[in-house]
């Protein structure tokens, strides 16, 4: 088991390469939607630029909080001229050559395919793809193959490595629709989800017109921190590496938490959970009535003045608790997104609204 490591899609790196080399692509891609009512599946359109930017956000988080990021060398031709990642290759970013006929890879891939092909039409198209590939190396349903068969293959490789699979956003959308699919617990992902949930609580306020949690853009805290410290697109990866050094102890803590979970050590697991609980309590105290800042709500046709929480003094915390508090209280991300889009010249109009709406 490779603790606190991940296995990445080459498709994701291709999306990042296109973003850095050509800028955002505002044409549409397709996302697979399982339709159990008709025992089939459909395709829905999604803005490719949103997928590219989501891939960038994933990369920032992974560069800061993973010990190693693996990728399959055999399928890296689509992005291997990505100069921004050259300095990481072989160190943080590690190429592997995993035999596709390795028994563990095959077994995991086949099990994943059974679960991912959740309807009769999906099973039929996968069988036709398999037959076509055997006969002439061609898949009649090529994009279906890219999304479904590609996801299953990567799940097989990640299982072989013992590393968490970080799927391309379009493949990740498919995985989220298959509730029976339960990969091994990845503490890095669980802590990230916990941080995201706590940040929603921090930036959500109660007002006379109800809970103001609609239309709020709340980006991952490391994204706001890294892009906030960059002055151009070319500085994002170097800034992520500087931030990585800053969060070294936190990254090690995640690895230790994963180790405790894998060794089924209840005392150690309880200790790590207690840290997260204590941080939640810090924020709960901040949100209590009387501990908020200005609670005066002004209403107009244009908008509302939301109560501003009183930020706790982080100097009274140390180590992991301090790091978690800082992450939770990083800016929401409106200015961060605008800053990023300004570098691409699409910070206004319909393009801005498409991307902003996607991340709300």
Cα 321 to Cα 333: distance, rounded to the nearest angstrom? 22
Q: Count Cβ neighbours within 10 Å for each residue of 52-85 and write b for 16 or more, e otherwise.
A: bbbbbbbbbbbbbbbbbbbbbeebeeebeebebb
Maximum Cα–Cα distance for the chain, whole Å?
71
Cα 150 to Cα 133: distance, rounded to the nearest angstrom? 14
Model confidence band, residue 151 (pLDDT cutoffs 50, 70, 90): very high
Percentage of the chain beyond pLDDT 70 is 86
Model confidence band, residue 1 (pLDDT cutoffs 50, 70, 90): low
Helix (H) / strand (E) containing 347: none
C-alpha dist (Å) from residue 20 to 54, 151, 340, 353: 13, 24, 12, 21
Q: Which of 113-117, 152-156, 287-291 has the lowest mean pLDDT?
A: 287-291
User: Which tops the pLDDT comparison, 181 or 124?
Assistant: 124
Model confidence band, residue 284 (pLDDT cutoffs 50, 70, 90): confident
pLDDT in tens, 94-128: 999 998 889 999 999 999 999 999 999 999 999 99
Q: Kindly report the pTM of this predicted structure.
A: 0.88
pLDDT in tens, 50-108: 999 999 999 999 999 999 999 999 999 999 888 888 888 888 999 999 988 899 999 99
pLDDT for the residue 84: 86
What contacts 113, CB < 8 A, 6 or more positions away?
126, 148, 149, 152
Helices 10-22 and 48-65 pack at an angle, to 10 degrees, of 110
| DSSP strand pairing (210-211 vs 206-207) | antiparallel
DSSP-assigned letters across all residues of 245-303: HHTHHHHHHHHHHHHHHHTT-HHHHHHHHHHHHHHHHHHHHHHSTTSBS-----B-SS-
- Using the predicted structure, report yes or no on whether residue 159 has a pLDDT greater than 70: yes
CB atoms near residue 223 (< 10 Å) = 25
User: Which tops the pLDDT comparison, 282 or 36?
Assistant: 36
pLDDT for the residue 58: 97
pLDDT for the residue 207: 43
Cα 24 to Cα 351: distance, rounded to the nearest angstrom? 10
C-alpha dist (Å) from residue 7 to 86, 117, 270, 332: 18, 22, 28, 28
Give the mean pLDDT of 137-157.
Answer: 95
CB atoms near residue 258 (< 10 Å) = 24
- Using the predicted structure, report yes or no on whether residue 215 has a pLDDT greater than 90: no
Question: CB-hemisphere CA count at 13 Å for 115?
Answer: 20
What contacts 210, CB < 8 A, 6 or more positions away?
none
- Using the predicted structure, report yes or no on whether residue 211 has a pLDDT greater than 80: no
């Amino acid at each position: 088991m490779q603790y606190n490591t991940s296995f990445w899609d080459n498709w994701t790196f291709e999306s990042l390469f296109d973003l850095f080399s050509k800028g955002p692509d505002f044409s549409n891609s397709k996302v697979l939607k399982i339709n159990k009512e008709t025992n089939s599946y459909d395709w829905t359109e999604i803005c490719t630029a949103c997928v590219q930017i989501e891939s960038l956000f994933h990369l920032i988080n992974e560069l800061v909080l993973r010990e190693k990021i693996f990728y399959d060398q055999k399928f890296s031709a689509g992005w291997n001229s990505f100069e921004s990642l050259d300095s990481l290759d072989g160190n943080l970013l590690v190429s592997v050559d995993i035999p596709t006929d390795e028994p563990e890879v095959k077994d995991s891939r086949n099990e994943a395919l059974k679960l991912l092909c959740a309807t009769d039409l999906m099973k039929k198209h996968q069988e036709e793809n398999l037959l076509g590939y055997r006969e002439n190396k061609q898949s009649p349903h090529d994009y279906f193959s890219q999304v479904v068969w590609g996801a299953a293959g990567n799940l097989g490789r990640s299982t072989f490595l013992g590393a968490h699979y970080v799927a391309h956003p379009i493949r990740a959308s498919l995985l989220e629709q298959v509730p029976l699919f339960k990969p091994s617990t990845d503490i890095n992902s669980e802590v990230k989800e916990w941080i995201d949930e706590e940040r929603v609580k921090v930036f959500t306020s109660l007002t006379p017109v109800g809970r103001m949690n609609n239309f709020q853009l709340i980006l991952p805290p490391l994204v706001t921190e890294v892009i906030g410290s960059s002055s151009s697109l070319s500085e994002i990866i170097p800034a992520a590496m500087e931030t990585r050094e800053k969060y070294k102890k936190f990254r090690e803590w995640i690895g230790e938490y994963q180790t405790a979970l894998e060794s089924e050590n209840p005392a150690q697991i309880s200790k790590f959970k207690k840290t997260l609980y204590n941080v939640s309590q810090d924020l709960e105290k901040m949100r209590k009535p009387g501990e908020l800042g200005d609670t005066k709500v002004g209403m107009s046709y244009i908008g509302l003045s939301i109560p501003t929480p009183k930020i706790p003094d982080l100097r009274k915390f140390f180590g992991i608790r301090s790091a978690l508090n800082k992450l939770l209280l990083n800016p929401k991300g409106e200015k961060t997104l605008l800053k990023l889009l300004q570098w691409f010249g699409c910070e206004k109009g319909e393009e801005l609204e498409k991307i902003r709406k996607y991340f709300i």
